[in-house]
Structure 1
């Protein structure tokens, strides 16, 4: 009889397990809720422009406001054609890698979002990508390019050959840009502001002495010398004995770059050496020829309609 009597506690426990097991089984068999769709790396997505931070490794320091306004007008009308490149940050925001002009222009155009491609990269990779992307563009000023190459050399230990390969430039071109960093800061500022070109800067580097370079740069700017005139002027400073030779001709050329430019244009046009002697608006033009065919060429050029 005792065995036939079921323990009420045991019966209650059994009912409890039986009542739980179906629910556990149902829970195990129920399909899990699908995760939210992830945006694959490399696929453009719309990101709020206000959630993007400027790249601290950006080498560009100047933006043409007129060109930026034109881009903003284009974006307002047709949108951003090429997505920018960003990377996620720990604070939930994004950091720009490439496309700063498009990002700034989108803000000017009043856009709330901008198409962007997400990249998971380290600080070093982000800096390298930003610098290389900028160097592959054509609108960086010479000093911005020089500093970008210098940063690749300093921070990534890249050789000039490696930098040339990564940016698609010639190695000699890379070397020439790096040489610009030897210019005094005052002259670097003139190059960055567009007052002197890359060609002017290269010519001035031959002087080496910082004070002489600054003085020459001021004169080149004041007289609006061309690159060729600047080269002649620099050579006159480096070789004063040659400059003074031949009735002071080189002195005259250095002092009056317009005369020198006229001589060079006539020489290129005629294919013969041309000298201009000018004094207060009076003088003569001397054309040198070595054979009768040269004279016939001069005659034909002068009488040509």
Structure 2
């Protein structure tokens, strides 16, 4: 019964869900292609790409969670009306989750078709042997990551619906999410710890043997991402405290207006700006490093491995540029 009702609601709200569906298809396709690139890079040249699927999955999880919250805000009054008409909250949660799961599964199957076309183009261009078997392996890996991502994002969505009262649902579309003091304290602590790990990783890449340095290169994306998130947490917290202090600086020109705009919904802005910053940073580094590796006068690896590394870096640069564009496309 709930499946039919959820399917009917999805069809009825197809206009509202069009951007949501297109965004999911693009994000899942990126995840599949990124996993394929990481796999062939590991097989063809032995590059360590351990952190790449994890980093992209984390970024996609943040973006999916953001658009899930956006859809919740858009339909919050509808959900409040369901509760006022007598629908139990648990049944409402089940209805919403089934609806999102159905849409997610449909988008995932569409992304498999798109991913098959894109990975075949990559395989033909790079003369990869056994592309079909590699694609099936990548689909399996992507399916696991998709399941984990959906489980976490839908769990967060369920928690949000459980915590919202009918009154809050009625005004959810216009409600802000201020940054609490605990979040500011954790942000400062995480900034110190993650920044220290990033600094030690950079030193290790320089001084440790090649085997251990390569492992650190594959893992350095994790402390880098945490450092960026913690930095924005720290920055937004300081701006919020400055606004509360009502200092004279805020009354100069448009400072008060800008501070209010920044601190109106800081929790969402912290994560979305962190995603944009990390994607822009990685895309810039990937394009620069990939371009250098294609220069014949620069010899870091053997010719075949260096060509593969250059291809991987430029491919990753394109992926991160698309992800950074999705940050604003979701808005």
TM-score category (smaller protein): under 0.3
Larger-gyration structure (1/2): 1
Higher helix proportion: 2
User: Which structure shows the bigger proportion of residues in strand conformation?
Assistant: 1
Query: So what's the TM-score if we normalise by structure 1?
Result: 0.22
Q: Which has the higher contact order (CA 8 A, sep 6+)?
A: 2
TM-score, normalised via structure 2 length: 0.21
